[in-house]
Amino acid sequence: MVTQKTVATTGNLFVAEAIRQALPDVIPVYPITPQTTVVEEIAKFAANGRIDAEYVAVESEHSAMSAAIGASAAGVRVVTATASQGLALMWEELYIASGMRLPIVMFNANRALSAPINIHCDHSDIMGARDTGWLILFAETAQEAYDNTLVSFRIAEHPDVLLPVMTTADGFITTHTVDRADTLDDETARAFVGKYKPTHALLDFDNPVSHGAFAGLGGPYFEFKQQQRRAIDGSLGIIKEIIAEYSAISGRPFDVVEGWGMEDADVAIVVIGSTAGNVRHVARRLRAQGIKAGVLKIRVFRPFPTAGIRDALKGAKAVAVLDRSDSPGAEGGPLYFEVKSALYDLDHRVPVVNYVYGLGGSDVRTELIERVYKDLGDIASGAIGPFDMTYLGCR
């Protein structure tokens, strides 16, 4: 019998709770705004004996990920957390974690990158990690942050995946806002996550292995990368299976992409993270006015659910992609490229426009979303043509 507890607290504390329930063995971590309260909660768990995990308070994010790699290679379950500059400092280690096929789970509190220094939400940090070979999940709410974190362990440690997973939530908006969410009881959560069965563990002294060998000078670097690529491509089906299993237990069905009103939408907005709620709110109002508005939220960004996105958007007359980060000098933001690319193979052309919004925590008011839908309506009616990337809400 699954008993769930309804709790009102911050997204970060829900993430910390999921981490505790997953029974990690090692937690090397360094505090950074707005992830800090996750670390503080873990320190409380450690001080109060609520976790067996070895909590390692390292001196930098680079060392957090370095120690995570050492511990994961040792053959135990490892989790850490970071944000923004911390994720950027880990950059080389992110590639090493995925290249060594280590199933580390990391929470990222999505935050802008300096300069100018800023502590608030955008996706510049996480989008900088999009090619690192990690699986990347986005949460709209505290509930999603909790659920995503629990499923992340199962996905990472699946024998056909063995890749690190980033479970993310929007800085302050989701991490610090008190929200209502249901949590599983410890027993159910633990049974779902299960025991980690490592292969090639450093601590298996009967079968010594060397990790991190040199594969250059004509060695099989390229072939290793192909294996890695196959693993991340193949993970999409596995993620869906694990999500389905979790949904059955929790009673909260979800998917890698989630549509709202997409069945018959004329105008659709593609969005990731906390802004999805605002967009749905506006779409609902527009529907009441007879406008066929839809919302497509991407919950799993890596692997990119191309087919699901193409299917959901193929009937739309105009699509807007909201990017909470920019790719300066390029045509638009990173989400835009990937959505537009997904639509390229359709028999017909779906007009797609791009808005970069909310950088450095800049407010995303409903009027801005209404403006996007109005633009889409004008494109759909043929009143205007698609236009270049637009900074939305920039003063």
Partner 1 sequence: MPTLKELTSYEDRLAGGHRLCAGCGASIAVRQVLLAAGDNPVVAACATGCLEVSTTIYPYTSWKIPFIHNAFENAAATISGVAAAFTGLKRAGKVDPDKKVNFVAFGGDGGTYDIGLQALSGALERGHDMVYVCYDNGAYMNTGIQRSSATPKGAWATTTEVGPVHQGKQHHRKDLTSIIAAHGIPYVGQASVSHWRDLTTKAEKAFAVKGPAFLNILSPCPRGWRSEPDQTVEVARLAVKTGFWPLFEVEGGIWHRTVAVRELLPIEEFLKTQGRFSHLLKPENAELLAEVRADVNAYWEYVSFMCR
Closest separation between CB of residue 201 and partner 1, Å? 8
Q: Is 96 in the site for partner 1 (CB under 8 A)?
A: yes
3-state SS class at 40: helix
Nearer to partner 1, 164 or 303 (CB): 164
Q: Is 212 in the site for partner 1 (CB under 8 A)?
A: yes
CA 168 to chain centre: 4
Closest separation between CB of residue 234 and partner 1, Å? 23
The interface mask with partner 1, positions 216-235, x = CB under 8 A, is: -x-xx---------------
Q: What are phi and psi of 103, to 5 degrees?
A: -80, 60
3-state SS class at 258: strand
Nearer to partner 1, 1 or 203 (CB): 203
| Other CB atoms within 10 A of residue 367 CB | 9
Q: Is 269 in the site for partner 1 (CB under 8 A)?
A: no
Q: Is 214 in the site for partner 1 (CB under 8 A)?
A: yes
Q: Is 317 in the site for partner 1 (CB under 8 A)?
A: no
Separation between Cα atoms, residue 210 and residue 102, nearest integer Å: 14
| Other CB atoms within 10 A of residue 33 CB | 18
Closest separation between CB of residue 188 and partner 1, Å? 20
Q: Using CB under 8 A, pick the residue from 5, 92, 191, 237 that binds partner 1.
A: 92
Dihedral sign computed on CA atoms, order 84, 238, 162, 92: negative
Apex CA 230: angle with CA 162 and CA 135, to 5°? 50
Among 333, 352, 319, 341, smallest CA distance to 126 is for 333
Q: What are phi and psi of 368, to 5 degrees?
A: -65, -40
Nearer to partner 1, 61 or 147 (CB): 61
Contacting range for partner 1; rule: CB under 8 A; set: 124-132, 213-221, 331-339, 356-364: 213-221
Q: What are phi and psi of 40, to 5 degrees?
A: -60, -40
Nearer to partner 1, 198 or 294 (CB): 198
Nearer to partner 1, 58 or 384 (CB): 58
328-387 binders of partner 1 (CB under 8 A): none
Q: Is 193 in the site for partner 1 (CB under 8 A)?
A: no
Contacting range for partner 1; rule: CB under 8 A; set: 207-215, 283-291, 300-308, 334-342: 207-215
Separation between Cα atoms, residue 202 and residue 300, nearest integer Å: 31
Tokens 């001196």 belong to 59
Q: Is 194 in the site for partner 1 (CB under 8 A)?
A: no
32-91 binders of partner 1 (CB under 8 A): 52-54, 56-60, 62-63, 66-76, 78
Separation between Cα atoms, residue 207 and residue 202, nearest integer Å: 8
Q: What are phi and psi of 283, to 5 degrees?
A: -60, -40
Q: Is 179 in the site for partner 1 (CB under 8 A)?
A: no
Question: Footprint of partner 1 on this chain (CB under 8 A)?
Answer: 25-26, 28, 52-54, 56-60, 62-63, 66-76, 78, 92-93, 96, 202-205, 208-215, 217, 219-220
